[in-house]
Amino acid sequence: SVKTLSKEYKIIIGWSILPKLGKILKKQQISESVFIISTDKIFGLYGKKLISMLKNSKISDLGFALLPDGEKSKSWESYEKLIKKIVDFDSGKEKRTTVVGLGGGVVGDIAGFVAGTYKRGVPFVQIPTTLLAMVDSSIGGKTGIDFRHKNKIVKNLLGQFYQPDLVFTDLSFLKTLPKRQLLNGLAEVIKYGIIKDEKLFEFLENRTSEILSLEKSAINYIVKTSCEIKKDIVQQDERETKSIRTILNYGHTIGHAIESASGLSFTHGEAISVGMIVEAKISNKLGLLKEKDLKRIENLIQKFGLPTKIKSTEVNKIISAMKYDKKFSGGKNKFVLPVRIGKVVIKTGIEEKKIVSILSGYF
């Protein structure tokens, strides 16, 4: 269970557990009226199955709306379309509609934003289908959409904290996940090892091939451990007001800037992989991180086949994109920097020229 000030909810994790969803929704009295938000691709794989399983559990008042795949769907235009569809579905109903997000991080973010803003908040269930969503974005209540400003896409510029009522994680979804998307999530798992858990980091170093081939016990361990780490941090700092939750942004100050500057041609995991290495190099240059730990971080990211460098993005674009970062305030940047494997510190106001010199030698 995740216990926050606004809500307490369960994270249910297992293999091939989708048939149990209807029963669980009824048991928790979440709703008998369900509106599913998904993508064309995910719904094509699992939508019919999910609908027939819900109907078997006597949940028959069902609606759905589908988005194109990819980050570009996390837009104001998509949000407006979804609100119109849920209003059409919901009008004249006495029962509260539950919004179900079936998909990866993009679906979870926009579905959560719809659930949190529609009628000042309706019940919300996350069914993450990607590793990234399972270990990260489905837990903790961050929802939102990207917004275009002055021809730049600014990630998560509009959003809110809105906790789900249930996170339902069926690990068998990973069997249909393309390798690039698996790696996308593994970048976040590596991040957890660096910020909080050296044992997890060592497991990733030693069991790389089992993880990549989806060996069940290896996947169970990395997903459950990652969820525990995220849960502990969120419980202490639900709304990122105490700097505790800020440590989850390791790799993201540079990573988000790379995503924005590249026009979202990199996956989130690819961008933060490079971000983690750049931020580890900044830490090393400041004398905070030993060379051997920097090498371990670089080697592990490389071992999983994630990028360690991105050539096509210009340094000045990254620096200007960083200024849109939510952690950038009073003209000062804020970085999460590793001091050893399993421990990070937060540093504010690192000189721009230091960052530029590291980035310039890097791309």
Instruction: Please list the active-site residues.
Output: 120, 142, 188, 230, 240, 245, 249, 252, 256, 268
Give the residue carrying structure tokens 């029962």. Answer: 95
What Å distances lie between residue 323 and 236, 273, 341, CA to CA? 27, 20, 28
> For residue 203, what are the contacts with CB-CB under 8 A and spacing of at least 6?
193, 218, 221, 222, 225
Tell me how crowded residue 308 is: count the other CB atoms within 10 A of its CB.
15
CB contact at 8 A, 155 and 142: no
> For residue 11, what are the contacts with CB-CB under 8 A and spacing of at least 6?
1, 2, 138, 139, 167, 169, 227, 231
Q: State the pairing for strand pair 61-67/33-39.
A: parallel
State the DSSP H helix or E strand holding residue 65, giving kind and residue range, or none if neither: strand 61-67
Give the residue carrying structure tokens 């593994």. Answer: 186
